[in-house]
Amino acid sequence: MAEFLVRIEFRDDDSDHDRLVEAEHKRVKELSVQGILRRLWMIPGSHAAWSIWETPDATALHAAIKSLPFYPHIVVEVHALAGHPLDPAAR
């Protein structure tokens, strides 16, 4: 499995915002239960978030992100992560 650090910025221009928010919350919960979306942090004062995703590869990550109802309204920045030999969590 591969880990990815993902920044998502939301750019809302949809008049059906409330329906999209409800659908987005449902899909994020599903991705979390599946173990794909591992962590999620909001960036105070913005419409952006950082998150940790875990998928078999970048193609699976793309499919998961594309499954978000907000997908047409977001800008996504992806950073592939690799283990570090000095990572304190690896001890």
pLDDT at 52: 98
pLDDT at 6: 98
**Is 27:18 a contact under the CB 8 Å cutoff?**
no
pLDDT at 16: 77
Tell me: the pLDDT tens digits for 48-71?
Answer: 999 999 999 999 999 999 999 999
Superfamily in which the 2-49+59-81 domain is placed by CATH: Dimeric alpha+beta barrel (3.30.70.1060)
Indicate the pTM of the whole model: 0.90
pLDDT at 64: 98
Domains of the chain, residue spans: 2-49+59-81
Grouping H, G, I as helix, E, B as strand and the rest as coil, residue 80 is: strand
Q: Is 75 exposed, middle or buried (0-12, 13-18, 19+ CB in 10 A)?
A: exposed
Show the low-confidence residues of the chain (pLDDT under 70).
Answer: 13-15
User: Residue 40 and residue 18: Cα distance in Å, rounded?
Assistant: 21
User: Residue 1 and residue 43: Cα distance in Å, rounded?
Assistant: 27
Token duo for residue 49: 């978030």
